[in-house]
A and B are shown apart, each in its own frame.
Chain A
Amino acid sequence: MHAAHKNHDFEPKIAAFVCTWCTYAGADLAGTSRMQYPPNVRVLKFPCTGRIDPVFILRAFQKGADGVLVSGCHPGDCHYMAGNFHARRRFAAFRQLLDFVGVDLNRLQFSWVSAAEGGKWVEVVTGLTERVRSMGPMREFKELELEEQWSGKVDTPELQEAYEAIS
C-alpha cells in the first residue's frame, strides 16, 4: 500500500460516515484481506445510516472535508429493519438542497457496501478520492469559515496567512 503510494500535490480529505453493521465491516474486510485503498478517507462509525443526520455532512464540509461518503447496508439488509430506507429519502432530499445552494454533488457520494463487499469498499473509496483529487480542494466552505462581517473584520497577518493556506 505504502510502497505503491504516489506523491500528489493535493491529498483530499474524505470523511466517510458508515454504518457499523455493513460498511464498517466491509471496510474491515478490505483491511484484513490486505486490499489497498487511499489513506485519504477518515471513517466515522454510526449504528445505522438512519442515525446519520444531514447536519453531519454539512459539518464535515465546514470543518475541512473535500469529499464526503455516506455508506450503509443494502436495502433489505438493515440491522434495524428500515433505517437505511429512511436515510435514503433523507439523503435524496438533502443532496438536492446542497446542489441548490451550490455544492458540487461530485464531492458527495452515497453507497451501499455490505460486510462481504471489501472489494466494493476499495472501489468506492478509490473512485471518490480520485474524483475529488481531480476537482481540487473544496474551497467554498473553507473560505466562508474565514470570512467576517465587515464590521468585525481585523486584517491581521495571521488571518491573511490562514486565507492563503486554503489551497
Chain B
Amino acid sequence: MQKTITEQNLRALIDLLVKKGTRVVGPRRAGSITLYEPLASGGELILGELPRRSAKEAFFPLCENILSFEKTTEGVKVADVDPSQFPETVIVGARPCDAAAPGILDAVFSWDYKDKFYLERRRKTTIIGLACTSCDDACFCTSVGLSPADPRGSDLFLTPLEGGGYACEAVTEKGEKLLAEFPQLFTDAEAAKALPQAEPAGEKLDLARIKSWLDGNFENPLWAEISERCAGCGACAFVCPACHCFDIVDEGGETKGCRRKSWDACGFGKFTNHASGHNPRDAQPKRYRNRIMHKFKYYDDKFGKTLCTGCGRCIRACPVGIDIAAVLEEISKK
C-alpha cells in the first residue's frame, strides 16, 4: 500500500528522531547559503533548495580525526578513533543526485581496503530522498542516466504531490523500518497526483561513447583547450557528491596531536607533487584531464560505474566557468 506524509508530519518526524537521539541531517540555512547540516528541529529543514555542498560529508567528512598520539614518559601513546561511536544518522531531503552518490562510492571504499570510517557511517545512515520538481541550467542528472525522480540510493523516497504532502516509497529495509517505527505520521495514499518532475535541459549522453573516446585520447589538444583557464582551486571537487580523494596529515604540537583525514582535490598543483619535487601532473590541463578520466573512464574500468550524478554543483561553483556538461557534450560528439 502506498503511504503519504504531509510536510507538517515530515517536520514532526525530524523532531521525533532528534528527540530519540538520532542525528538528523538535512538542508539547512547556513549564513546566506543552504548546506546539509544537523537539524535541531523539523522547522529548520529547507525543502526548495539544492544545498551548496553534497550530502557525501555525512559518510566522508570534510575533516575527521583517525587517531591521536601523545608523547608520555612511557613512550608514545596512540589512540584510534573508534567508529562504533559514530552516531545513528538520518539524512532528510537528499536530492536524487546526492542520494545516488554513496551507492557509487561504496565500491571504492570497500574494495581492497575496507574503509571502516566510511562503511560504519554508511551502515548507520538512513537516507530519505526527495524528488526534484525544479532545476536550473546547471542540472544535468538526466544526461548521466539519473533522473529528478530516481529513488536509487534512497532508503525512503518522497515524491511531492499536488496539493502538498509527499508520496513515500520504501526502497530498502531501512526505509521500511522507518515507516514501521512512526506509523502515526504516515497515511495510506488517496492516489493524489505527483507534481511534475523537473526537466533538466541537457540531452542524455552516450557515456559508453564518451568512455571509448577517453580510452584513446589521453593525449589530446582538447585538454588544454578546455582547461587552460582552470585556476587550480578545489571548488569543483569539494562540492561534488562523488569526488572522494583525501589527504592524511598529522597536526598538533610537540607532545601531542592528531592524524587527520581531509578532502583533497586533483585540481591542486600539489596533489601529485612527489617528495623529490617531481610532479607528474605538472600543468593544469593534465590535472583537469585526470578529473574527467577518473569520473568517466578509470572508475568505470575498475568498478563499472560513472563517478558523476549530474548535480551540476561544479558548474555553479567554478570561478572560471568550466562546464563539465558542455565538456561531456563536446567529447560525445567526437
Contact = CB atoms under 8 A, between A and B. Distances in A.
A–B contact (CB under 8 angstroms): yes
Contacts of B63: 148-149, 152
- Looking at chain A, what size class is its interface with the partner chain? 10 to 19
B264 interface: no
Closest CB pairs A-B (n = 5): A151-B61, A152-B64, A152-B61, A151-B57, A149-B62
Nearest to A159: B65
28 contacts: A63-B253, A148-B63, A148-B64, A148-B65, A149-B57, A149-B61, A149-B62, A149-B63, A150-B37, A150-B38, A151-B57, A151-B58, A151-B61, A151-B62, A151-B64, A152-B61, A152-B62, A152-B63, A152-B64, A152-B65, A154-B64, A154-B65, A154-B81, A154-B85, A154-B86, A155-B85, A156-B85, A158-B79
Q: Output the residue of A151, A154, A158 with the most chain B CB within 10 A.
A: A151
What is the predominant secondary structure among interface residues of chain A facing chain B? loop
Contacts of B79: 158
Interface of A: 63, 148-152, 154-156, 158
A152 B65 CA distance: 7
Nearest to B261: A152
Nearest to B23: A150
A63 B65 CA distance: 19
A63 B253 CA distance: 8
A100 B63 CA distance: 27
A149 B262 CA distance: 11
Interface string B35-64: 001100000000000000000011001111
Contacts of B38: 150
A155 B65 CA distance: 12
A36 B37 CA distance: 53
Contacts of B61: 149, 151-152
Contacts of A155: 85
Contacts of B65: 148, 152, 154
A145 to B, nearest CB: 10
A150 B62 CA distance: 9
